[in-house]
């Protein structure tokens, strides 16, 4: 079943699994969010199966996939680091 067709129960189960995996690893929410280029509030929303902080279900599912697989755009992370250095 494609991820875009998850039922509410399946989505909640996947979200809880992601959260428990992060907690088991001892990863802090803010650091985990930064690593995949999301805000902490977006990551918290993923872990609660809350789509409201996202523009659409598609954006939510893309973020879930990045979180689940630890993938992110390396160029974006480098750009984000450069911007952060400007404000130090």
| DSSP string of 27-73, one letter each residue | --HHHHHHHTT--HHHHHHHHTT--TTSSSHHHHHHHHHHHHHT---
Helix axes 40-47, 57-69, angle to 10 degrees: 90
pLDDT of residue 45: 93
**51-82 residue pLDDT tens:** 899 988 888 888 888 888 775 555 545 555 55
pTM of the model: 0.70
Tell me, what DSSP letter sits at residue 2?
Answer: -
**CATH pick for 7-86 out of 3.40.50, 1.10.3210, 1.10.260, 1.10.3430:** 1.10.260
**28-55 residue pLDDT tens:** 899 889 988 899 999 999 999 898 999 8
């Amino acid at each position: 079943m494609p991820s875009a067709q998850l039922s509410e129960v399946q989505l909640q189960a996947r979200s809880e699994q992601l959260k428990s995996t992060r907690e088991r690893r001892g990863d802090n929410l803010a650091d985990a969010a930064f690593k995949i280029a999301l805000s902490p509030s977006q990551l918290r929303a993923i872990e609660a199966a809350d789509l409201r902080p996202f523009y659409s279900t598609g954006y939510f599912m893309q973020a879930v996939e990045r979180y689940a697989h630890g993938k992110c755009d390396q160029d974006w992370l480098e750009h984000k680091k450069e911007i952060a250095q400007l404000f130090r």
